[in-house]
Amino acid sequence: MKPVTRIHSRTAVLADENIDTDRIIPARFLTTTSREGLGKLCFNDWRYLPDGADNPDFPLNRPEAAGCAIVVAGRNFGCGSSREHAPWALLDFGLQAVLCSEIADIFRNNALKNGLLAIVVDPAEHRWLLDHPGVELAIDVAGQFVELPDGGRIKFQLEPFARHCLLEGVDQLGFLLQRADAITQYEHQHEEKAA
């Protein structure tokens, strides 16, 4: 994973609560065996009209949302399935961060492992962000704050290890592989007990 330290972008807002992983990427597209190229399918059934044209009611299709890398989403974003295709699709679509007052556990975990900043902010600040689409934000991973245009800051917390991995581009599988001896030792004790 490439390090992620700071993201600077205008925001787009997807205000709906409970945007589930089926909305982020419908299940019928999960027959892929690759993690590439899912951006064109991101939000497919919301983003396109039945005739394939862009749906003007989909907030990310509006001209002012073009190029936005930060989405402010309604509460409980990413609920539903464990499909990692959801963060893969969002990243490939061009998003780098989701700000929300609550994010579903598995989605948040998957997102952070892929360098998509899934950030929980407190409800009052979340409300303000929902009400101000297009605001210019800078997200600082090391400092754990979102900087507003007037210099004001919204604080957030990332799980310390996830933050460390984002900043340093740590390979988590490599981290686990380095603990092979401890794993082997655990297996010996554990399997003896079970026998």
Kindly provide the residue ranges of all beta strands, DSSP E only, lying in 1-104, ordered along the sequence: 6-14, 70-73, 97-100
Residue 160 sits in the site that holds another protein (CB under 8 A): yes
Residue 127 sits in the site that holds another protein (CB under 8 A): no
Q: Least distance (Å) from another protein to the CB of residue 147?
A: 26
Residue 6 sits in the site that holds another protein (CB under 8 A): no
Angle at 78 between CA 67 and CA 92, to 5 degrees: 35
**Which residues in 10-69 contact another protein (CB under 8 A)?**
15-18, 20, 22-23, 26-28, 30-35, 45
**Size, binding site for another protein by CB under 8 A:** 52
Nearer to another protein, 8 or 28 (CB): 28
Distances (CA, A) of 17 to 20, 42, 76: 9, 18, 6
Report the C-alpha gap between 169 and 104 in whole angstroms. Answer: 23
Residue 142 sits in the site that holds another protein (CB under 8 A): no
Q: Least distance (Å) from another protein to the CB of residue 91?
A: 13
Residue 177: Cβ-neighbour burial (10 angstroms; 0-12, 13-18, 19+): exposed
Q: Which of 58, 94, 106, 167 binds another protein (CB under 8 A)?
A: 106
Nearer to another protein, 124 or 193 (CB): 193
- Report residue 103 as tokens: 């994010």
Nearer to another protein, 124 or 173 (CB): 173
- Report residue 59 as tokens: 């907030």
φ, ψ (nearest 5 deg) of residue 185 = -65, -45
Q: Least distance (Å) from another protein to the CB of residue 57?
A: 11
Report the C-alpha gap between 114 and 1 in whole angstroms. Answer: 7
Angle at 118 between CA 90 and CA 27, to 5 degrees: 40
Nearer to another protein, 70 or 100 (CB): 100
Q: Which amino acid is at 151?
A: G
Site for another protein, rule CB under 8 A: 15-18, 20, 22-23, 26-28, 30-35, 45, 74-76, 79-84, 87, 102, 104-106, 109-110, 113-114, 159-161, 164, 172-173, 175-177, 179-180, 182-183, 186-187, 190, 193
